[in-house]
Amino acid sequence: MLRPFRQSDLGEVHAIEQVSQSAPWALEACARLLAQPAVKAMVWEQSDQIRGFVIYMRVGPEFEILDLVTHPGFRRRGIGRQLLAGVLELEAPGLESGYLEVRVSNLAAQGLYTLFGFKTFGRRVRYYSDNGEDALMMRWEK
C-alpha cells in the first residue's frame, strides 16, 4: 500500500493537496519541490488510487516533513500513521532528529505527530500568510 512517489503520481497528489489544505501548493511548486535532490516522497495507494502522501527532506542525520496529507474521504483510518511510520522506517539508518511546522489550529496533525514522539519546541508568529496563523515548530529525536 505504501510505495515511493513516481513522477506520474504528481497530478493525483496535487489533486489531494487541493482539497486538503487551506493554502495548497500550486502544481508547478509541487513539481519543483519534488525535483529537489534532498526531497523524497511516498504515497499510500489502494485500488490503484492514491489516498495519501508524504513529502519530506532528508539531509544528513535530519529530516523535515514538508507535507503530509490524507484524502479527506479516507481520514482516521490509519493512513497518516502509516505514512509517517514509513518515513521513519525508511530513513532510520543514521537518523537522529526530525522537524516540522504545523498550524496552531491543526489539532489532527498535532495529534498524529505527538503519537510519534514529536514535541513542540517553538512558535513562529503569523507564519501562514493566508490567515496570519501561528505555526508550532515540532521536533522528533531518536
Ligand X SMILES: CC(C)(COP(=O)(O)OP(=O)(O)OC[C@H]1O[C@@H](n2cnc3c(N)ncnc32)[C@H](O)[C@@H]1OP(=O)(O)O)[C@@H](O)C(=O)NCCC(=O)NCCS
Contact call for residue 105 and ligand X (CB under 6 A): no
96 is catalytic: no
Contact call for residue 107 and ligand X (CB under 6 A): yes
Q: Among 7-15, 25-33, 56-64, 67-75, which window interacts with ligand X (CB under 6 A)?
A: 67-75
Q: Which residues pair with 67 in a beta bridge?
A: 55
113 is catalytic: yes
Contact call for residue 139 and ligand X (CB under 6 A): no
Contact call for residue 106 and ligand X (CB under 6 A): yes
> Within 10 Å of residue 10's Cβ, how many Cβ atoms?
15
Q: Residues binding ligand X: what is the number (CB under 6 A)?
A: 22
Give all strands (DSSP E) within 32-134, no chain letters: 39-46, 49-59, 62-70, 97-103, 119-124
- The amino acid sitting at 65 is I
